[in-house]
Amino acid sequence: MSVLILASASPRRRELLDQIGVPHQVMPVDLCEDPLDDEAPTAYVARLACEKAKAGFLAAGSVTPALGSDTAVILDDEILGKPRDEADALSMLRRLSGRKHQVMTAVAVVDGERCICETVITEVNFVAFDESRARAYWASGEPADKAGAYGIQGLGAVLVDSINGSYSAVVGLPLAQTAAILKEFDIEVWQTSSDPKA
């Protein structure tokens, strides 16, 4: 029996919930993810996380808490979303090369009475790389559906020199903060029947 609705189609978020042993049911929601006029990046990710959680809660029949999350890559106070095409992805990668940027991930849980949301900000430092590396990375197919045109958990890891903050938040879900929020809804982590010694 699932104890949580995951309002996301992201396989990475599903894997992260599996990692901490939280039974869940995947129920993707389709929302407009365009920033509002003059919306600050922190407000943007928090709004989307809450909206996704609320939509998932309603879609599931309003009987099980729902979790929504949103991740954005921020460079020079600009939100870098998923690339529209190759040219857009290459432009993002050129700008990120050899520089530091922020990854903001908000996680929200809704049960009809409450919406608890927290945003985690991680600093990511990229190595410098040339155009051929950027084009080869695009050709791999990985950047196409990733905010900022890269995935730290995949081939994009070779572009990352260092991070300061939560690795799991950059992947898509800050696990320590997620566990703390879930506890407020009486959902504990490590709810697995597998033997940890196995």
Summarize pLDDT for 177-193 with one digit per residue, the tens. 999 999 999 998 886 54
Model confidence pLDDT, tens digit, residues 140-196 = 999 998 999 999 999 999 999 999 999 999 999 999 999 999 999 999 888 654 444
Q: Where are the domains of the chain?
A: 5-184
What is the pTM (predicted TM-score) of this model? Answer: 0.90
Catalytic residue positions, numbered: 70
Query: Three-class SS string for the chain?
Result: CCCCEECCCCHHHHHHHHHCCCCCEECCCCCCCCCCCCCCHHHHHHHHHHHHHHHHHHHCCCCCCEEEEEEEEEECCEEECCCCCHHHHHHHHHHHCCCEEEEEEEEEEECCCCEEEEEEEEEEEECCCCHHHHHHHHHCCHHHHCHHHCCCCCHHHHHEEEEECCHHHHHCCCHHHHHHHHHHCCCCCCCCCCCCCC
- 5-184 CATH: 3.90.950.10
